[in-house]
Structure 1
């Protein structure tokens, strides 16, 4: 008989500690980046702020500082550091469970407004850093990846509307996703709430109306 195989064992406590460590790292990075800027934030300073070794920071984000910035953005997007799929979050479940398509889009617009408010400070910092550092390929690739993720994420609501038969006649899922991607862009949000002086309620109402007009059957 051969030697007994060792069982793979993942300690829940170990995983909980790892998640807590990652949350501290992201919180320290977010604080430094929003107060000092992306370029002035170092991995060593993040480690000190999180109370961990520098090697721990690199282990949590193998891609270096761009990967750390992505983690900061992801937490601002989700609203917390919990590894919960977007589809399982309460605000998304409310949209999926709502029977009326126009009301679905109103809830979606409200969620988009909340997300914009959370992510806008981080996006401004990263875009400003990219503008002054054209040679930082890691940062530019990370930002391009965020945009691709946003376009891919727009397929979710488009596919859902298609599945329930609510999409405007002749409108493909791909075209619907492209319109959702464009209408919910950070640039549009900034122009309307910044340059035009709209409040969040104005923007949410406008976005719900535009999405309904563009996507739903008459």
Structure 2
């Protein structure tokens, strides 16, 4: 009796590869924040993560691409291939028609997102002066963040929530400033604010600066 050839099951290997990738990303993120981007080498990341340097290069190609992957994962909160604007929490925020509730939802989101992103963005801003890769990535991310604030400001305008003297671009600039991840780090990590206090403050500031009083 001839046995049928065994099918190759790649599920286990794929799961192991994903676990290893996540470990490298987590390790790289910790080292970038603790030691700085310039001082952190692929060799150090590989040693701390318990993998070979070759594996890191195969997975990410370069330290710059690894940094970008760290930032992208940190912003999203996971490595699922779903654009930020299509994630359920953001979609729910965009569907909300009451401007005050919309900004309350946004404030809660900022509290969680900036807790993840803030240390990385401050590291990037500090590295940008001396490192071209960090400078380029920092500029790209701030541009993307400004675009996201434009979407939020446009949604507020669409439901009649913006103050009469504000256009969408000015409102987006204000939101981009107040929602800065670095500002979160300054208040929470440097000045010892609680997450609850930050959430309340940023929601109040955004509401006062953007929303109609009626």
Shorter-chain TM-score tier: 0.7 to 0.9
* Cα distance per residue 1:170-208 (max 9 Å; x no partner): 422111111100111134323433555432222211211
- Indicate the larger mover: 205-214 or 108-117: 205-214
1:138 maps onto 2:133 in alignment: yes
1:94 maps onto 2:92 in alignment: yes
Q: Which residue does the alignment assign to 1:154?
A: 149
TM-score of the two chains, using structure 2 as the length reference? 0.78
1:176 maps onto 2:174 in alignment: no
1:185 maps onto 2:184 in alignment: no
* Aligned pairs (5 A) from 1:66-85: 66-85=64-83
TM-score of the two chains, using structure 1 as the length reference? 0.77
* Cα distance per residue 1:133-188 (max 9 Å; x no partner): x2x21222112222222112211211111222322224221111111001111343
Residue 71 of structure 1 deviates from its aligned partner by 1.4
1:25 maps onto 2:24 in alignment: yes
Q: Which residue does the alignment assign to 1:111?
A: 109
Tell me: CA distance 1:182–1:128, structure 2 relative to 1, closer, same or farther (3 Å).
closer
* Cα distance per residue 1:102-126 (max 9 Å; x no partner): 0110110111111111112223333
How many residue pairs were aligned?
Answer: 204
SS of structure 1 residue aligned to 2:193: coil
RMSD: 2.9
Residue 84 of structure 1 deviates from its aligned partner by 1.3
SS of structure 2 residue aligned to 1:154: helix
Tell me: CA distance 1:195–1:216, structure 2 relative to 1, closer, same or farther (3 Å).
same
Unpaired segments of 5 or more residues in structure 1? 1-11
Contact 1:26 1:71 in 2 (8 A): yes
Distance 1:129 1:56 in 2: 26
Residue 53 of structure 1 deviates from its aligned partner by 5.6
Q: Which residue does the alignment assign to 2:4?
A: none
Distance 1:49 1:195 in 2: 28
